Amino acid sequence: MSFIQRIARNTSIFFISQIISYVLTFFYTVYIARFLGADGYGILAFALAFSGIFSILADLGLNTLTVRELSKYKNLTRKYIGNVLAIKLILACFSFGLIILSINLMRYPQDIITVVYFVSLSVIITSIFGIFYSVFQAYEKMEYQSVGQILSNISMFFGVLIGIYYGFNVIGFSIIYSITSLIVMLYCIIICIWKFTRFKIEYDKHFWKSNFVEALPFGLTGISVMLYTYIDSVLLSIIKGNEVVGWYNAAYRLVLFLVFIPITINTTIFPVMSKFHLTSQDFLKLMNEKYFKFMIIIGIPIGTTTTLLADKIIILIFGTGYTQSITALQILIWTLVFTFGGASFVRLLEATQRQLVLSKITGISVILNLLLNLILIPKFSLIGACIATVLTEIFLVSVVFRICYQLGYGIKIKKISTDLFKIIFASLIMGFIIYCIKDLNLLLILIVSILVYFPLLYLVGGIDKVDIKIIKEMIK
């Protein structure tokens, strides 16, 4: 099996599971948002954002490091599981203690504090069993992680339905998150012992020291990403209140749902890129080039379509109580476009052991995002938070691209510019047609846009012979 087919197999398995998972996530999020209203949903969204910021402290990059190392040295599997689990348990206790201290110092009402406790417990448990997902990824056995994610979302989905049936309040829904995480952790432990290796908690002083230092740049990057992703919701809660957080997250969650596309490919491609860094620089450059191109082929039309149809999307999904989210979605969707464009270069830096460079870039981006939010939120509320998010993503992707170009990873500016022009041209034509038929049924509009965009992109040469060859290999 060629490396392209292997990537395609793992990506297909993971992609299908992600679609199932995100469909379930989409529905239970919408049910919660409609059932609790903007204010109640805002409390839950705040808890997810607040705990998300601290969650990376329970990992500090150990999951990513484990994938990279075990993809090369599988004989160390038992050692990594035993030692990393021990480190994670200590970090989990520290993180949860920090969450308790921080939320109480902020003097929120007791019901909000209780919601934060249960959601944080769920997030920290998820971080702990992340080590097992790292093993599945390193062995390129994505089916096991896929089942785990589907199990998680099925549990959440039926938990939410039960919660709505029995009229749970926001605290009841937060408990569902914790129960779901415990179920998935049990599944991961069983699969690891059954299919990979038995393990026990270990303490190897040299391993702890060397791997903790090696993982720390990944962790710093993760902290920066979490701050960048969630700090706006926390600041909106403090400055503008829970209802505004609900409006903002209705739009933001739709954007985050679509991030599953680069996340899926990143997860499956990372072990292969890590190996090619040692064995074939030419293949590594080819993978990066095509990954970037395929991402912008998908990302730019998504941005165009969502901007034009945001009102239909928000009203259909969340109802008229979330009309404030329409403009937010039209702005935030362009964060996704730049995320798609930068995904390949971010993974390239991690796979080539330049995680410290990425940590510095994301750290600066977080500071920029925080400053922009503090300036824009008091004046423009959730729209200010949206603008801050987009500007920060543009900065981050631009700097990462420039660094990769300077490091000489075979980035061809002329080819990238030509591809971008063709993709933007096809997207604009598609956008014009969408504007002309905007009053039609939403599903019909989406079908027409796809039927227009891809043939047009092929006609203008946006998809070349090499792309077609890769697609055929993937289909095989």
Report the distance separating Cα 405 and Cα 349, nearest Å: 11
Binning pLDDT at 50, 70 and 90, where does residue 436 land? very high
Mean per-residue pLDDT, 69-88: 82
- Report which of residues 351 and 242 the model is more confident about: 242
State yes or no: pLDDT of 270 exceeds 70. no
Which of 251-260, 267-276, 296-305, 356-365 is predicted least confidently? 267-276
Mean per-residue pLDDT, 100-109: 88
- Report which of residues 219 and 436 the model is more confident about: 436
DSSP secondary structure letter of residue 59: T
Looking at residue 305, its pLDDT comes to 94
Query: pTM (2 decimals)?
Result: 0.72
Which of 53-62, 269-278, 444-453, 460-469 is predicted least confidently? 269-278
Looking at residue 176, its pLDDT comes to 94
Dihedral (Cα; 139, 213, 401, 294), 10-degree rounding: 10
**Residue percentage of the chain with pLDDT more than 90:** 25
Binning pLDDT at 50, 70 and 90, where does residue 283 land? low
Local structure of 353: helix, strand or coil = coil
State yes or no: pLDDT of 272 exceeds 80. no
State yes or no: pLDDT of 376 exceeds 90. yes
DSSP secondary structure letter of residue 194: I
Local structure of 382: helix, strand or coil = helix
Is residue 413 packed enough to be buried (19+ CB in 10 Å), middle (13-18) or exposed (0-12)?
A: exposed
Looking at residue 141, its pLDDT comes to 78
State yes or no: pLDDT of 458 exceeds 70. yes
DSSP secondary structure letter of residue 193: I
User: Is the Cβ–Cβ distance between 84 and 212 less than 8 Å?
Assistant: no
Report the distance separating Cα 62 and Cα 19, nearest Å: 27
Provide DSSP, 256-306: HHHTHHHHHHHHHHHHHHHHHHHH-HHHHHHHHHHHHHHHHHHHHHHHHHH
Report the distance separating Cα 78 and Cα 224, nearest Å: 30
Binning pLDDT at 50, 70 and 90, where does residue 185 land? very high
Looking at residue 274, its pLDDT comes to 57
Q: Residue 130, Cα to own-chain centre: how many angstroms?
A: 14
Looking at residue 304, its pLDDT comes to 94
Looking at residue 265, its pLDDT comes to 67
Is residue 145 packed enough to be buried (19+ CB in 10 Å), middle (13-18) or exposed (0-12)?
A: buried
State yes or no: pLDDT of 163 exceeds 90. yes
Mean per-residue pLDDT, 326-350: 86
Break the chain into its structural domains and give their ranges.
3-411, 412-476
Report the distance separating Cα 339 and Cα 353, nearest Å: 21
State yes or no: pLDDT of 1 exceeds 60. no
**Residue percentage of the chain with pLDDT more than 70:** 87
Q: Which residues contact 112 (CB under 8 A, 6 or more apart)?
A: 43, 46, 47, 103
Predicted confidence (pLDDT) per residue in 114-134, tens digit: 999 999 999 888 888 888 888
Looking at residue 136, its pLDDT comes to 84
